[in-house]
Amino acid sequence: MSNKVIYAIYNDDDILMDAVKKTRAAHHHIEEVFTPFPVHGLDKAMGLAPTRLAICSFIYGLCGLSFATWMMNYIMIQDWPQDIGGKPSFSYIDNMPSFVPIMFEETVFFAAHLMVITFYMRSRMWPFKEAENPDVRTTDDHFLMEVAINNNEEELVSFFEGTGAVEVKVIEKH
């Protein structure tokens, strides 16, 4: 079976939004939409599930907080409880205010960096990664919607020509 897709190209984000809504209403499956900049509300129009990145970040933050607490407790209280300038190193809570800046920074550090790495991994981004632009103009001023063809090529082409596309291409994907 051939993997044919349609590339419907637009030059305005409002027209794109309308086209996405029409395509969804006509029950054509949108494979992907390429835009040069974030289009507000596009994810909602496409029906994409909300991101769970914030939840990840919260959990990473808790990990950072635990790590900082464990580290400071082990070093300052358990391993070598020295008297440094009269600070009470009898128990963690006794000396906790002086650990708070570290606990805070570790929480932020873990939450931020691990979330970014999660983002890179989930969106498959890394150095030397081959770019996936279907059309170079989509990074500049054009919007592209990719829709799979299932033996309905003619119907789809005429459908997308009716949605205000400046260009409709049928491409064989490998």
32 vs 94 by CB, closer to another protein: 94
For another protein, give the closer residue by CB, 88 or 162: 88
The least distance separating another protein from the CB of residue 65, rounded to whole angstroms, comes to 12
Smallest separation, CB 5 to another protein (Å): 34
Query: What values do phi and psi take at 171, rounded to 5?
Result: -125, 140
Which positions lie near another protein, rule CB under 8 A? Answer: 54, 58, 86, 97-98, 100
Residue 148: which residues within 8 A CB-CB, separation 6 or more?
Answer: 3, 4, 5, 6, 29, 31
For residue 89, the minimal CB distance to another protein (Å) is 14
Q: Closest separation between CB of residue 54 and another protein, Å?
A: 8
In the bound state with another protein, the residue whose beta carbon lies nearer, of 54 and 121, is: 54
Nearer to another protein, 84 or 117 (CB): 84
Distances (CA, A) of 64 to 44, 54, 118: 33, 15, 15
Q: For the residues of 86-98, what is the DSSP string, one character each?
A: T---SSTGGGHHH
- State how far the Cα of 5 lies from the Cα of 36, in Å rounded to an integer: 21
Angle between helices 96-122 and 53-72 (to 10 degrees): 140
